[in-house]
Structures are given as C-alpha cells and as structure tokens.
Amino acid sequence: MAANNNIQISDLDFDSIKNNLKTFLRGQNTFKDYDFEGSGLSVLLDVLAYNTHYNAYYLNMVGNEMFLDTAALRSSVVSHAKLLNYTPTSAIAPVSTINLTVTGVTSPSLTLPKFTSFKSEAVDGVNYTFVTNDIKTVSVVAGTATFPNVSIYQGQPVSLSYTVDTSTNLSQTFSLPDVQIDTTTIIVQVQQSITNGTLSTYTLADNVLQLNDTSQVFFLQEGSLGLYEIYFGDGILGQSLIDGNIVNVSYLVTSGTASTGANNFVLLDSIGGTGIVNSLTSASMGGDQESISSIKYQAPKSYAAQGRAVTFEDYITAIQQNKLNFGIDSVSVWGGEDNVPPIYGQVFISIKPAGQYALTDNQKNQLIVDVIKPLSVITVQPTILDPDYTYVKLNVSVVYDQKKTTLTSSQISDSITTALQSYSASQLNTFNSTFSLGDVYSVIQQVNPSIISSSCKVQVQKKIYPTLDVSKQYILNYGVPLNRGVYSSGVNSTPTIQYYKNDIVVTLLNDVYIEEIPFPSSGVQSVSILNPGFNYSSIPVITITGDGTGATAVATVVNGQVTSITVTNPGINYTQAFLTITNASGDTTGSSCSAYLTLQGQYGSLRSYYYDGNNIKTVLNPNIGVIDYYNGIVTLNNFNPTNVNNSLGQLTITANPESTIISSSRNRIVTIDPYDPTSITVSVTAK
Amino acid sequence: MANTIQNRYSDLDLTFTRKPVSGDIALSTNDQAVIRSVRNLILTNHYERPFHPEIGSNISKMLFEPISPLTANYLQREIEDTINNFEPRVKLQQVVVQVAPDQNYYSAIISFFINNQVQPITMNLTLQRLR
C-alpha cells in the first residue's frame, strides 16, 4: 500500500471521517470501490467512520463535563462546585405571617406544636399546605389563646430514620429522597441506639476551622439526580457515628415559588379549640432549587470571596446565599463614595426580595447582623436601602389589519398587555435594568403579524404612601430628565387627596388635585460665581446683555470679594445672555471676579387645587412642590394630606420623561407595575 | 503486491472468504464487484446505513404488503430508483418483477450494462418475505 501523506485526523463528524478514509484508500490499488455506496468496502468504511465518530463524540462530552464552564449535567456542575466548597442553594419555602386566635380553650395555657398545618386559598388552582416551624405556648385568657405573628412555611414535613451500619454503607452518606427540600429546615438528631433513647441534635457545619473531634455537626452536599445527602464527621473534623446509632432527619418539602401569594389560611389540625386565622402577609420570599446556570455563576464568586465580603460581588454572593430563608430576586451594592455627596466608610445595599417590594426593618436587621457583619471588613458600615421603584406607564395605540388575523381587537389588546407584562418581568424589575421604547415596539410587533403600526406614549410614575396628617417633605427621584408640561398634561397625581384648607383643622376639602405650573423659560434664572476676585472696595456693576430685555442683577461684596450675585429681575425673551462685571466708579483695585448665568427652564412648580361648591377651580396652595426637570426630581414640600382616596393610601405622581430610554442604577428599579391595571392601556384600531 | 492484470473494479467480498493459496482475503472484481454492489443496494433498507438514511431501498417493507401486481410495480420502480441513484457504474436496461402469488414471492429480473462494456448483464433475484 502506497504511503499517503494526506490523511486527516482532525475531523470529528461522520461524513468528514469517511471522506478522510476514502482519501487514504486512494493511495492503494487493491480495493478500488471505496467510492461506491453499494460496495462491500463502503460498508466497512461506514463501520470505521461510525466508530471513530462515536469515540470523538464521547470524548467531546467527557471533555465538556470535565470543566465547570462547559458541563451540561447537573451532577457534573454540582461536583465541580463542590471543589470550590459551594453547596447549591435548595428550594426555599415561602413564608407567611398570621395571627392565630383559638377560642373555646379549657386549659390555662395552649401550645401550638411544630408542624401545625394550615391550608391556603388556591393559587393557580392549587391549595397549599403551610406549617409552623417551631413550638409556641401562650396563656389562655377567658377561654381564648392568641398567637401573634406566627410564621408559617409552605411545605410538607417529612421525617426519616437511618440506622448506622458501616458494613452495608461504608461512606455513611444518607441520601434524602426529595428534590424540593428546603435545606434550611433540616433538623438532624442522633439517637444512641435502639435501646438507649438519648438524643443529640447535630447542626449543619459551615466552617471547618471551628470543628474538633467532639463537634456534633453534619455536612450537606448535593448528590446525583439533585438529591441532597447528609454525612457526618470522621472523628477528627466532627464527631463520627458508630454502628447502631439512629439518625433521625426531618425537613420540609416545598413547592418553592409556585405558592407565592398564597393567603387566607384555614387551620387544619385540631389544637384544642376553634382556630381563627388572620393573615398579616401573603406568602413570599420563596425560591426554587438553584439552577445549573446560577451554580456556574455563583460557585466561582463564592470561592473568590473566600467567606469574606470585600468587593461588590462578595456582598451580592453573600446576600443571595443567605441562610435566613430569604428568597431574593436581585441585589445592588455600591460604595458610599459614589453617592452625591460622598459618604465614606459605608456600603449601600439594596435588595429586591422575591414576591414583595421591600424587606421589613426586622429582616434588614437580620441580614446585617447574621449575614453581612460576620463577613465584612470591620470598619465598613453596611446600610440597606429599600428599592426605589420608578414605574413606567404605557399608553399603546395599535392599528391592525383584520383580514390577516382571526383574533378580535380585544384579544389583540390582551395579548399585547400580556407580552408587555412578560417583557417587564424578564427584562425590567431588577437593579441596573434599562427600559427602552424600542424594545416595547419590537415586543408589540412580535405579538401578531397583523399589527401594522403602533405608537406608544411613555410616562414615569412614583408611588408614595404619604404619612397622613404629618407635614413632611417627599423627594421623588425619577432618574430621568423630565419634560416641561403644561397644565393638565404635565406632572399630576392620582387619586385625589383630602386636605385641610390652609392647614387649619376646620374645613376639610375632599377632592384635592395636584398639577404642574411650568415657570417661564425665557428669563435669567441665577448667576453662579466662578471666581470671587479680590480687593473690591465697592459693589461692582453687573450688566446682563443678550437677545432678551430687562434682566438685572446685583452683587454682594464681603471683605473685598464678590460672594454672590442675585438676579433682581429675570427679564424676558432671552435665548442667550452674557454677564459683564464692571468696577464701580472710583474702585481701582477690585479685579478678577468672574461668574456665569443660568437661563430659566430647570425648574417648575406644583400647585394644589380643588373645585369649590360652585364647581369653580380654586387654587389651594400655589407652591406645594418643585420640579427639577434636568435631574428628574419632584419635591413635595410640607405635604400634609389627611387621606388619600384609595384603599391602599397610595399616591401616584405621574410625569413625562424627556427620554424614552430609562436606566436604573444603585437602588433604583424600573418596572411596569403588574398590580396596576392602568399601567398598560392598549387601544386597538382595525384597518 | 504486483498485479499483472489491472482490475477496473475491486471490492471487499463480504463473505470474507480466504484465497486458498496466499491466505489473503478474497476480492470480488470487475463485473462480479458491480453485481454484488447492485445486490447490496437493493437489499439495504433505508436507515440501515449510519447517518445516511437515503441510501438503500424500501423493498423489504413492501414484501409485507398484500402480494399483487400493483406491489410488483412499486417494487420495480423502487429497484430502478435505487440503482439509478446510487450505482453510477451501470446503465439500467430493464427491471421486470413477476408475481408468484401461490408461492408467495416476487421474482425480479434486472438487466443492465456496465459502463464501457457491450455485454449486458442480467441478474435474477427472488424476493420473499421471511417472517
């Protein structure tokens, strides 16, 4: 057989391998029919190429699974993460808080046992079981026992027992047979033997540095198929078990986020009276088992953090992996030095919890004390800020061709609303997300091919819960420059508010509105000093020139320096204006003062008004707030409503953004409010 | 190995017999190689060859259809298509499929020319289902 120098070995797919074999066979004369599909040689080449391809594919998959970045199987990813000392987060049981009142109790005290069951109302057609996770005892007063602020967790309690037998299970690893375990609820107790009922409680080991041969700890890891495994110490790192020990394990198996929002609970178990449940919060803060992509993302960061919180990523990782049962959607962290003005020595953290708007003060405190403080640098003070939501309100108009679809206009309208809501849920609703009108148009266009054209008006909203009957300042930062509006289409509020006339508790006005009054934009707003100069013996003359008329200003001199220049008349019709500073007559020493002008337009104001008995619009307070158009900030000063006319007590202030790209940074979240039916309005016209 | 007579076509004999003298594996050559190739193609089912489901014919499946002249016609077309598509060395002359309903088989007579040869070749195939 002749030498063939053209043999290729780098191809991996079947056809290329077979072609390479044919190229190889061209170098010989004995078998010539390699090129014909019916030949016997072709069958042999098929076998060879198939075998080579098979091995190449297998090696490729083995190669993939060998690295955390490329592994596709959960067991491989988890195994790689294990080398980085990372245990994937389990499902987290959503928690709800209730007040439980039990009537008709005859005993002097009543105990609410662990795992007392409650049934929730249906969420998406499923009633979920919630259980208590600890024991509470209260005294009974007049036959009634009251359990305040009881936390109940969604899940089914499971208890298992294993007998230690090193002859059958050498590694003494006990697999827990449920995937959706909330591992924070695992309780492990070890009984000495079947005849000796002494129980010891073992805790989860999280720091091997503190372990010795008598530490009663267990270790947790995720095994194959996503099942969790527990194992015990070897007698050096943690106390080891001996044959005959009985390991009792209990935990909750939860449905994770599926039960978020469950409410209106009913007591299922009999605890010695009639239970009346008053729900304080609906179920929230649940989570699902950590996904493969999340493990790939978190494990190296957890390793890099080395159990310390120093960089932004350290904080984010530590908070997302908290052991406090808090399901967290998104975390934003920044240093106080980035604030305006800077606040040194502080780290600011903003957290969007799963299923609710903000953490309670108690939860924030728990996070700081139990999660952040043990990891952070000693002198750095963590501060948790609530997310600051900027809501986007969309007013969509769509023209569609009714010959191209079987859908009715209301079905098209519904599908556009649904598509925009899912865009909001997936693209917005987290820190550092960006709303873009272009994205909205592409979402609308993809809803149905019959949609010919669409237009969309974007407004931004802030929602506040004013403290009633207390005069306060509210600063609403929209995070985007605002357009100057006119009466009725500028900044306004919904719903109406109740307000005492002139802040005197005599006449209560039931329906008070807020509207924008734009300042005239053609005068001189202010003068800023660049250099105060020196040696002025008298006040210099300030002259304003430009294409408008009437603007005047006066300077104030202190110790020979011009400390300020005040506009006394803004003038009108300026599109550009210049400032000249001339020494007063007789002042030969003063020099070097320089300053610049700002034209009007940065600010507008808000006023409140009502309709009197004769339905005449009457101004209540001509200056209830200020609008800073450039910085997108609306400030309500001395705002003191008596009531907000909706059930939530929530006041919405709507403004028009100058740009339709709205970014969020730090603790700001841009979103479309899923709970507000007016947040997306769609009008559909048939062509 | 020095070949004094150069074979136009030479193929591996899938019966894997040995040459009696040298002990080498036997070859099928020239006409024999082409006839074997045609036979192989006709008796190969679709999806039998790895990654190339299009190679082969649908004949073994058709044998389980009710035995009739119509099926015979389909068989004939299938044999023609298979040879025309996958065997470039032959020019197909005629395919005749005869039905033997009582014996429950078809008899196929395939005649073709091998390219650049004047002598036509006729091969007989008995197509009978086995189970």
As to burial, measured by CB atoms within 10 angstroms (0-12 exposed, 13-18 middle, 19+ buried), residue B1 is exposed
Quick one: which of A105, A169, A128 has its CA closest to A264? A128
CB contact under 8 A, A33 and B8: no
Among the partner residues A15, A41, A46, nearest to B12 by beta-carbon distance: A41
Mean pLDDT of chain A: 89
B48 φψ region: left (φ > 0), alpha (ψ -120 to 50), beta (else): alpha
Task: Identify the pLDDT of residue B4.
Answer: 47
CB contact under 8 A, B9 and A40: no
Chain B closest-CA separation from residue A6 CA (Å) = 22
Nearest CA in chain A to B55: A37
- Rounded to an integer, what distance in angstroms lies between the CA atom of residue A170 and that of residue A167? 6
Q: Is the pLDDT of residue A190 over 90?
A: yes
Nearest CA in chain B to A44: B12
Interval A460-496: pLDDT, tens: 999 988 888 888 999 999 988 988 877 667 888 888 8
Handedness of CA A606, A610, A611, A613 (dihedral sign): negative
Lowest mean pLDDT segment, chosen from A320-329, A402-411, B102-111: A320-329
Task: Identify the pLDDT of residue B15.
Answer: 87
Interval A193-220: pLDDT, tens: 999 999 999 999 977 888 899 999 999 9
- Rounded to an integer, what distance in angstroms lies between the CA atom of residue A162 and that of residue A249? 8
Largest Cα–Cα separation, chain B: 53
Residue to test with chain B: of A14, A22, A36, most B Cβ within 10 A:
A36
Q: Is A303 helix (H, G, I), strand (E, B) or coil?
A: helix
CB within 8 Å of A125: residues ≥ 6 apart: none
What angle (nearest 5°) sits at the alpha carbon of residue A680, between those of residues A604 and A281?
A: 95
B27 and chain A in contact, CB less than 8 A:
yes
- Rounded to an integer, what distance in angstroms lies between the CA atom of residue B126 and that of residue A65? 52
B51 and chain A in contact, CB less than 8 A:
yes
Residue to test with chain A: of B51, B81, B82, B90, most A Cβ within 10 A:
B51
Paired residues of A621 in beta bridges:
A608
CB within 8 Å of B130: residues ≥ 6 apart: none
Chain A closest-CA separation from residue B102 CA (Å) = 32
Q: What is the SS3 string spanning chain B?
A: CCCCCCCCCEEECCCCCECCCCCCECEEEHHHHHHHHHHHHHHCECCCCCCCCCCCECHHHHCCCCCCHHHHHHHHHHHHHHHHHHCCCEEEEEEEEEEECCCCEEEEEEEEEECCCCCEEEEEEEECCCC
Interval A221-269: pLDDT, tens: 998 788 899 999 999 999 999 999 999 999 999 999 899 889 899 999 8
* Tokens 């805790």 -> residue: A203
Please tell me the number of Cα atoms within 13 Å of A633 on its side-chain side. 9
Lowest mean pLDDT segment, chosen from A121-130, A143-152, A325-334, A499-508: A499-508
CB contact under 8 A, A32 and B55: no
- Rounded to an integer, what distance in angstroms lies between the CA atom of residue A467 and that of residue A641? 8
Residues on chain A touching B30 (C-beta within 8 angstroms):
none
Around Cβ A250, how many Cβ atoms within 10 Å? 16
A40, A190, A468, A620, A641 from A650: Cα distances, Å: 82, 53, 11, 21, 12
Residues on chain B touching A46 (C-beta within 8 angstroms):
49-50
**What dihedral do alpha carbons B39, B41, B44, B49 form, nearest 10°?**
140
Note the ipTM here: 0.90
CB contact under 8 A, A37 and B11: no
A659, A671, A674, A675 from A437: Cα distances, Å: 9, 13, 18, 21
Element (H, E) at A397: strand A388-400
B30 and chain A in contact, CB less than 8 A:
no
Structure tokens at B58: 């649908």
CB contact under 8 A, A33 and B9: yes
Task: Identify the pLDDT of residue A81.
Answer: 93
Largest Cα–Cα separation, chain A: 118
CB contact under 8 A, A36 and B87: yes
B25 and chain A in contact, CB less than 8 A:
no
* Tokens 């014919």 -> residue: B57
Task: Identify the pLDDT of residue B44.
Answer: 92
Q: What is the SS3 string spanning A23-58?
A: HHHCCCCCCCHHHCCCCHHHHHHHHHHHHHHHHHHH
Mean pLDDT of A294-301: 90
B40 and chain A in contact, CB less than 8 A:
yes
Mean pLDDT of A574-585: 86
- Rounded to an integer, what distance in angstroms lies between the CA atom of residue B74 and that of residue B58? 10
Question: Which strand ranges, in their side-by-side order, compose the sheet holding A95-103?
Answer: A266-267, A117-123, A126-132, A145-154, A95-103, A274-284
Mean pLDDT of A449-469: 91
- Rounded to an integer, what distance in angstroms lies between the CA atom of residue A663 and that of residue A62? 43
Lowest mean pLDDT segment, chosen from A13-17, A112-116, A588-592, B92-96: A588-592
> Higher confidence at residue A289 or residue A518?
A289
Nearest CA in chain B to A37: B86
Q: Is the pLDDT of residue A346 over 60?
A: yes
Residue A78 and residue A227 in contact, taking contact as beta carbons nearer than 8 Å: no
Interval A598-640: pLDDT, tens: 877 778 888 898 988 888 888 888 888 988 888 889 999 988 8
Please tell me the number of Cα atoms within 13 Å of A317 on its side-chain side. 26
* Tokens 């109406």 -> residue: A496
CB contact under 8 A, B37 and A50: no
SS3 content of chain A, % helix, strand, coil (to 5): 20, 40, 40
Task: Identify the pLDDT of residue A248.
Answer: 95
Among the partner residues A29, A31, A40, nearest to B14 by beta-carbon distance: A40
Among the partner residues A15, A30, A40, nearest to B1 by beta-carbon distance: A30
What is the residue-wise DSSP string for A238-259?
SPPP-TT-EEEEEEEE--GGGG
Mean pLDDT of A2-15: 76
Residue A61 and residue B60 in contact, taking contact as beta carbons nearer than 8 Å: no
Q: Is the pLDDT of residue A132 over 90?
A: yes
**What parts of chain B have a pLDDT lower than 70?**
1-5, 131
What pLDDT band is residue A4 in, cutting at 50, 70 and 90? low
- Rounded to an integer, what distance in angstroms lies between the CA atom of residue A623 and that of residue A320? 45
Q: Is the pLDDT of residue A2 over 60?
A: no
Mean pLDDT of A553-582: 87
Q: Is the pLDDT of residue A153 over 60?
A: yes
Task: Identify the pLDDT of residue B131.
Answer: 66
Residue to test with chain B: of A19, A33, A34, A52, most B Cβ within 10 A:
A33
Residues on chain B touching A38 (C-beta within 8 angstroms):
36-41, 44, 86-87
What is the CA A134 to chain-centroid distance, rounded?
30
DSSP code of residue A576: S
CB contact under 8 A, B89 and A36: yes
Quick one: which of A315, A209, A300, A193 has its CA closest to A246? A193
Residue A535 and residue A555 in contact, taking contact as beta carbons nearer than 8 Å: no
Residues on chain A touching B89 (C-beta within 8 angstroms):
36
Chain B closest-CA separation from residue A34 CA (Å) = 8
What is the CA A4 to chain-centroid distance, rounded?
63
Around Cβ B24, how many Cβ atoms within 10 Å? 10
A190, A290, A551 from A230: Cα distances, Å: 13, 18, 80
Task: Identify the pLDDT of residue A504.
Answer: 77
Q: Is the pLDDT of residue A508 over 70?
A: yes
Chain A closest-CA separation from residue B87 CA (Å) = 7
Burial letters B86-122, b for 16+ CB under 10 A, else e: bbebbebeebebebeeeeebbbbebebebeeeeeebe
Quick one: which of A176, A157, A162, A189 has its CA closest to A90? A176
Residue to test with chain B: of A29, A32, A35, A48, most B Cβ within 10 A:
A32
* Tokens 């979103």 -> residue: A671
CB contact under 8 A, B10 and A43: no
Please tell me the number of Cα atoms within 13 Å of A580 on its side-chain side. 7
Task: Identify the pLDDT of residue B22.
Answer: 92
Quick one: which of A463, A449, A467, A460 has its CA closest to A403? A449
- Rounded to an integer, what distance in angstroms lies between the CA atom of residue A124 and that of residue A210? 46
Task: Identify the pLDDT of residue B5.
Answer: 58
Task: Identify the pLDDT of residue A487.
Answer: 65
Paired residues of A556 in beta bridges:
A564
B88 and chain A in contact, CB less than 8 A:
yes
Structure tokens at B65: 């259809």
What is the CA A48 to chain-centroid distance, rounded?
55
Residue A463 and residue A652 in contact, taking contact as beta carbons nearer than 8 Å: yes
Residue A24 and residue A4 in contact, taking contact as beta carbons nearer than 8 Å: yes
Handedness of CA A278, A281, A283, A287 (dihedral sign): negative
CB contact under 8 A, B1 and A38: no
B125 and chain A in contact, CB less than 8 A:
no
- How many CB pairs (< 8 A) connect A and B? 68
- Rounded to an integer, what distance in angstroms lies between the CA atom of residue A348 and that of residue A165? 51
Chain A closest-CA separation from residue B14 CA (Å) = 6
Task: Identify the pLDDT of residue A207.
Answer: 78
Interval A629-677: pLDDT, tens: 888 899 999 888 888 888 888 899 999 998 889 988 888 899 998 888 8
CB contact under 8 A, B12 and A39: yes
Interval A524-546: pLDDT, tens: 888 888 889 999 988 999 999 88
